[in-house]
């Protein structure tokens, strides 16, 4: 009998990063408090009905529950309060996404302005290829525009 070896279904996606940025007239700490809260994305993504968290800090899982019944489960890979950045990986979804890795970072531009940058690398399932990149870009752009409105 062949001895079982460690394995995993989680792989980093390949592809060109999809980047969305927003500059907001507020200090970086205030912006980070919104976009750096891994369990709080429902504050600026209206398509979410709620978020369920399992655990806290690096390794925590969040389930994003969408109004339309779709689910996305993601694991927090890194979270640095001082540098104001974090990364996460999708581990399950019902949206037709094969693999997804994302990062959120905030940088101060002046005492009165800050930039949030959301970087996503994602691969669609085979049947979801057409329009996929534009869908992800629009989703991130709309979410960060909601952050601008929330903090303005």
Identify the architecture of domain 18-151 in CATH. Answer: 2-Layer Sandwich (3.30)
Mind giving me the DSSP string for 57-113?
STT-EEEEEETTS-EEEEEEEEEETTTTEEEEEEEEESSSEEEEEEEEEEEEEETTE
Residues 35 and 20 sit within 8 Å (Cβ to Cβ):
no
Give the model confidence (pLDDT) of 85-115 as tens digits.
Answer: 999 999 999 998 999 999 999 999 988 999 9
Give the model confidence (pLDDT) of 14-65 as tens digits.
Answer: 989 999 999 999 999 999 999 999 999 999 999 999 999 999 999 999 999 9
């Amino acid at each position: 009998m062949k001895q079982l070896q460690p394995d995993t279904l989680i792989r980093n996606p390949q592809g060109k990063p999809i980047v969305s940025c927003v500059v907001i007239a507020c200090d970086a700490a205030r912006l980070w408090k919104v976009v750096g809260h891994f369990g709080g994305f429902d504050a600026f993504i209206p398509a979410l009905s709620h978020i369920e968290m399992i655990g806290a800090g690096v390794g925590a899982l969040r389930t994003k529950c969408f109004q339309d019944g779709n689910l996305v489960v993601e694991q927090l890979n890194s979270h640095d309060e001082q540098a104001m950045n974090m990364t996460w990986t999708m581990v399950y979804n019902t949206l037709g996404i094969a693999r997804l890795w994302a990062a959120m970072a905030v940088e101060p531009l002046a005492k009165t302005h800050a930039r949030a940058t959301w970087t996503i690398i994602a691969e669609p399932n085979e049947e979801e290829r057409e329009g996929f990149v534009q869908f992800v870009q629009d989703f991130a752009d709309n979410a960060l525009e909601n952050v601008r409105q929330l903090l303005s």
